[in-house]
Amino acid sequence: MIPQQSIHTLLVANRGEIALRIMRTCRKMGIRTVAVFSDADRNAPHVHFADTAVFIGSSEVAASYLNQDKLIDAARRSGANAIHPGYGFLSENAGFARRVIREGIIWVGPNPDAIEQMGSKSNAKSIAIEHEVPVIPGYKGEDQSEATLISEAQKIGFPVLLKAAAGGGGKGMRIVHKAAELQEAIQGAKREGLSSFGSDELLIEKYFPSSRHIEIQIFGDKHGNALHLLERECTIQRRYQKIFEESPSPVLKEDERQRMGEAAVRMAKALHYDNAGTVEFIYADGDFYFLEVNTRLQVEHPVTEAVTGLDLVEMQIRSAEGHVLTLSQQDISHNGYALECRIYAEDPANNFLPASGTLSEWIPFENEGVRYDSGVVSGSEISIYYDPMISKVIAHGPDRATTLRKMEMALRKTVCSGLTTNQSFLIRLLQDEHFKAGNYDTHFIDTHYPQEKLGTYSDEYNTLALLAALVNKCLKQDAERKLLQEIPFGWRNNFYQKQSVKFLHGDAEHILSYRKNQNRFEIDIQGATYMVSPFLADGNDLHLEINGVLEKFRISTEGMTYFVHHFNHPQVLLIEKNRFPDTSKTEEKGGYISPMPASVIKVLVQKGDAVKNGQSLVILSSMKMENSISASEDGTVEDIFITEGENIEAGRVLLQISANT
């Protein structure tokens, strides 16, 4: 008989939205909560929500959220008798789980043996084979030399997928389409696996060009009971990171769902699994293949909660306390349909590179059947040190079509300004006829949304944003001049002479000519004339009558940058140009610039080196993802302006290359 232990104080060894989500369930259950925080998170919402909080070090994760000594010490100092690791960081670290238990602290997660067994993808694959769970053909051997990995990849046949054996979340993964790409891909995957997980062991698997990613939520207790809580489809991804998660899957047949669920439960029982976890599968042409087991709570767990009505964190806590699982498999069924979207600080038009900065406004949209799991408020800093996810938005409805419509409304009405996000891109995906029909695979974004199209939106919506930004500028300056008893902005002794303002939207320059009479603007944009009258101007809210139609905006500004929110296009970033120098005159040919705030992982060249077009020059890491800066032409390295380990801002010149003549 497993003795029950009562949790009275729980320390969440994590940050952001997952820390808040766990603490809300703890509050509901009457459990005191303890937050931990780094320098970057001193003013984070999870710190203020917790009943107490303990500082654990500098912003770098190795000095704070990955420091086991500091986390154990924080539990001791705060009187916590339980630790929940959330996801990421130390959540799948068997050594940390064992240490927590040795210290007499309750571990809210699966047993360390299960974590350890699944921590190696090669070992996980062996267990799957032993328990008749279908697996993908591949190599998982101990010989990790480059020569062996290259040879095994060629035996499997291209394309192949390289995966960090100890990893997850897309880190240490490379798709290789031909032999010439293998060596560099192996080196990069090993390097990323070592830096992210402390191991450079790789797996090689056959890569399916057209497939879907479906995972089964499993749950077990300490008494040998295990079941599955249905599936989530997570096929829509970019850079190996999920964007949409939904349940039920639009393609899975009932018999396939049953077989996949039974296979997942076999894995759970083989591991003596005693908490929340996820068994991930590749699905192609009616067949499914085991990928891995995530021995933790998943980012997308709210989707399962929505369709089952269960609180997975409460179940985790009760299991950790030793309670018997009271549910049976027959009790679990789909209640409607649920979809989760992830709002990221990233630029879809720039290969989804992460962004950082201050979130000037964050206003979720309150509506029935819509849930936000976020760890931010207006004024929060999105740091280069952590994942760039701002919020998860979860919609739940009676069917898929209703839920998609509800999600689109939520995304359109959510105000998220101050930095570049994927919010408008998510709306485009929801409107896509292929997605609406459930017709997609893991390459959906690459196939249907090539980079050159990701930054383009309707001219109509851009025009509305330009009109709003101009009127906002004039009204604010009028108000400032009125306070100083100066002549109003825009006043001219010759009313018929128009003024002009230039705005940049992406790479496009827009010139607006206008004149103002009383409270009415006449504005010309690209040959079209608009009659605009402010209807309401209160704080950041601006309502305008434009050619007889009332349009509603919310505008926040940062210097000469305008963030314009409108229902049809919830995030337009405009820059007033007249205060900015002509960068084309100041850029030096051959200069390579960082496209994002980042840490310099490796400089691959030296001053004086000859380089070829396409050769990797510098490896940067931002928000836990590596990016390679490559040469755009043949040339010679003239100078290097960065050092390995340095943290740099976006726009920093990295090195200078003179082109061969």
Domain stop point among 423, 454, 485: 454
CA angle 152, 154, 157 (to 5 degrees): 110
CA–CA separation, 323 vs 320, rounded Å? Answer: 8
377 with 229, same domain?
A: yes
Give the position of tokens 């390097």. 191
Mapping DSSP onto H, E and C, the string for 234-288 reads: CCCEECCEECEEEECCCCCCHHHHHHHHHHHHHHHHHCCCCCEEEEEEEEECCEE
User: Of 10-24, 107-121, 643-657, which range is least confident?
Assistant: 643-657
Helix (H) or strand (E) holding 146: helix 146-156
Q: Please provide the DSSP assignment of 162-205 as one string.
A: EEETT--TTTT-EEE-SGGGHHHHHHHHHHHHHHHHS---EEEE
For the record, the structure tokens of 525 come out as: 């944009």
338 with 260, same domain?
A: yes
CATH number at residue 595: 2.40.50.100
122 assigned to some structural domain: no
Q: Determine the pLDDT at residue 585.
A: 38
What SS3 state is found at 436? helix
Residue-number span of the structural domain to which 197 is assigned: 137-206
Reply yes or no on whether the pLDDT at 581 is more than 50.
Answer: no
282 with 390, same domain?
A: yes
Give residue 583's Cα distance to chain centre: 31
236 with 322, same domain?
A: yes
Q: What is the mean pLDDT of residues 313-318?
A: 98
Which amino acids are annotated catalytic?
A: 296
116 assigned to some structural domain: no
Burial of 110 from C-beta contacts in 10 A (0-12 / 13-18 / 19+) = buried
Reply yes or no on whether the pLDDT at 166 is more than 60.
Answer: yes
Residue 115 or residue 648, greater confidence: 115
438 assigned to some structural domain: yes
516 with 611, same domain?
A: no
Q: Determine the pLDDT at residue 629.
A: 87
| Backbone torsions φ then ψ of 7, nearest 5 degrees | -90, 125
CA–CA separation, 548 vs 545, rounded Å? Answer: 6
Helix (H) or strand (E) holding 51: none
List beta partners, residue 637: 657
pTM for the whole structure: 0.81
Residue 32 or residue 456, greater confidence: 32
For the record, the structure tokens of 455 come out as: 């930054």
User: Of 98-112, 147-161, 283-297, 487-501, which range is least confident?
Assistant: 487-501
Q: How many CB atoms lie within 10 A of CB 135?
A: 17
Highest mean pLDDT among 311-325, 435-449, 466-480, 536-550: 311-325
17 assigned to some structural domain: yes
User: Of 219-223, 441-445, 567-571, 585-589, which range is least confident?
Assistant: 585-589
Q: What is the mean pLDDT of residues 627-637?
A: 86
Q: Band of the pLDDT at 582, cuts 50, 70, 90?
A: very low
Report whether 69 contacts 93 (CB < 8 A). no
Reply yes or no on whether the pLDDT at 250 is more than 50.
Answer: yes
CA–CA separation, 628 vs 601, rounded Å? Answer: 10
Rg of the chain over Cα atoms, rounded to whole angstroms, equals 27
Write the CB contacts of 39 (distance below 8 Å, at least 6 apart in sequence). 57, 58, 59, 64
Domain stop point among 185, 206, 227: 206
216 with 198, same domain?
A: no
Q: Band of the pLDDT at 165, cuts 50, 70, 90?
A: confident
Question: 648: closest CA among 628, 630, 622, 625?
Answer: 622
219 assigned to some structural domain: yes
CATH number at residue 527: 3.30.700.30
Give the position of tokens 């409270």. 519
CATH number at residue 157: 3.30.1490.20
Write the CB contacts of 127 (distance below 8 Å, at least 6 apart in sequence). 117, 267, 270, 271
CA–CA separation, 201 vs 452, rounded Å? Answer: 36
92 with 177, same domain?
A: no
Residue 473 is given by DSSP the state H
Domain stop point among 182, 206, 230: 206
